Amino acid sequence: MKRKILAVLLATAVTASLAGCGSKAPATDTAATDAATDTATESAGDTATAGGDNSLTVWCWDPAFNIYSMEQAGEVYKKENPDFNLNVVETPWADIQTKLTTAATSGDLSTLPDIILMQDNAFQKNVISYPDAFTDLTSSGIDFTQFAEAKTAYSVVDGKNYGVPFDNGTVIACYRTDILEEAGYTVDDFTDITWSEYLEKGKDILAKTGKPLLSCQAGESDVIMMMLQSAGASLFDAEGNPTITDNAALKTVMDTYAELVKAGVLVEVNDWDQYVGTLNNETVAGTINGCWIMASIQTAEDQSGKWAITNMPKLEGVDGATNYSNNGGSSWAVTTNCKNTDLAYDFMSKTFAGSTELYETILPKSGALATYLPAAESDVYGEPSEFFGGEAVFSKITDFAGTTPSNNTGVYYYEARDAVAVAITEVVAGGDVDTALQTAQDTVSFAMGN
């Protein structure tokens, strides 16, 4: 079992994309609000390092996943360093990107915290674009060989390490088993199925229970990207050139998405909080997202035992189509505004880069599957989850990860995602698919200076 999990984690890291949860939110992706969460007794505020030589300030998003994990890391570190203070400021991913860009372009990095969480697919572009903002961690004492090599590669630029790997985003399909049962289905009826089968079953469940099968944020491309990667397809070729037009897999994805919305099987909402709300308040019968979404689902404690997971539907008529994908994945970066880099190095090396205990603690509640290889040896990965029907869900997720196709993200991954998000909005509104995709291609090519 140990060798199997280690091998799967390597494969998982190859496929890690958005957030987060993480998607998600992912990927993406998992933006929440600007409220501050403080693990010390004083507020960290919205600025940089505060509290003295034994204090670190961190920006990250998603209270149930990233923030929870970082807070637990602080507790682990405090066991040997009782005077340590960790200030975690809840900052949506989009705001982190904006604040980083503003600080770097203005030449004033003093507004940045000690540590930030960075979406994997944005890591290299940010380091290349704003090299003065990131601390080289290569000689920090952190042992990067303890992480899956492909996952680490997301935060390597010119042979130097700039990030400490954190989570992955293997996609899972989560279903409310009680709602399925009301309509005459079980989770097995949604295992190894196609999107056409999903659509037909979804229509039946909607008619019998009044509940859609799926929800997502309007104007976002998470579902699109998960569908696309499940077939090993991408928005870029191996050389990093955009392949949005004449992309048969993408066109099938766009048509499928539009059908789901038209049938009412997929309901679009305005923001992340509303999306999580559809899961917690029983508006929908399920979701499809990175495994980090389990943390948000489990915040509804009264629903324990009513959820189950399986794999996602696969595309029909598309070469390489599978029932597996990825959404999310992120890594921690130390900024050059950090006033005590030795403390930051030591903190990281003894928590996210050195503590199996940390990963054992955060896994059951948050679903934060590690890319820190020694953590995979823990028996916790094989333990049943009462919330998800008593099944060993983490073992199942690692199995899913082992068969997830890889894809090419490209340096302009987020520009392409945004362009495709605009395109799907136009298609759902009745626009022509080919025209929308051509506009998206032109938008990305312009951004790349082509």
Residue boundaries of the structural domains of the chain: 195-328+384-447
Judged by DSSP in three states, 182 sits in: helix
Instruction: Using the CB atoms, write b or e for 397-432: b if 16+ within 10 Å.
Output: bbebbbebbebbbbbbbbbbbbbbbebbbbbbeeee
What's the burial of 44, exposed, middle or buried (CB within 10 Å: 0-12/13-18/19+)?
A: buried
Selection from 86, 113, 84 nearest residue 100 by Cα = 113
Helices (H), 59-186: 68-78, 93-106, 120-129, 149-152, 177-182
Judged by DSSP in three states, 337 sits in: coil
Selection from 59, 68, 77, 3 nearest residue 355 by Cα = 77
What's the burial of 130, exposed, middle or buried (CB within 10 Å: 0-12/13-18/19+)?
A: middle
Q: How far is CA 325 from CA 119, 242, 445, in A?
A: 17, 20, 26
Amino acid at 108: D
Pairing label, strands 164-176, 286-290: antiparallel
State the Cα–Cα distance between residues 312 and 354, nearest whole angstrom. 33
Superfamily name and number for 195-328+384-447 = Periplasmic binding protein-like II (3.40.190.10)
| Ordered per-residue pLDDT tens for the chain, 450 residues | 333 333 333 333 333 333 344 434 333 333 333 333 333 323 333 444 444 589 999 999 999 889 999 999 999 999 999 999 999 999 999 999 999 999 999 999 999 999 999 998 889 889 989 999 999 999 999 999 988 775 787 788 889 999 999 987 789 999 999 999 999 999 999 999 999 999 999 999 999 999 999 999 999 999 999 999 899 999 998 788 999 999 999 999 999 999 999 999 999 999 999 999 999 999 999 999 998 899 899 999 999 999 999 999 999 999 999 999 888 789 999 999 999 999 999 999 999 999 999 999 998 888 777 778 888 778 887 889 999 999 989 888 877 877 888 777 767 888 999 999 999 999 999 999 999 999 999 999 999 988
Q: Which residues pair with 268 in a beta bridge?
A: 216
Judged by DSSP in three states, 373 sits in: helix
Amino acid at 90: E
Selection from 408, 385, 405, 182 nearest residue 311 by Cα = 405
Amino acid at 142: I
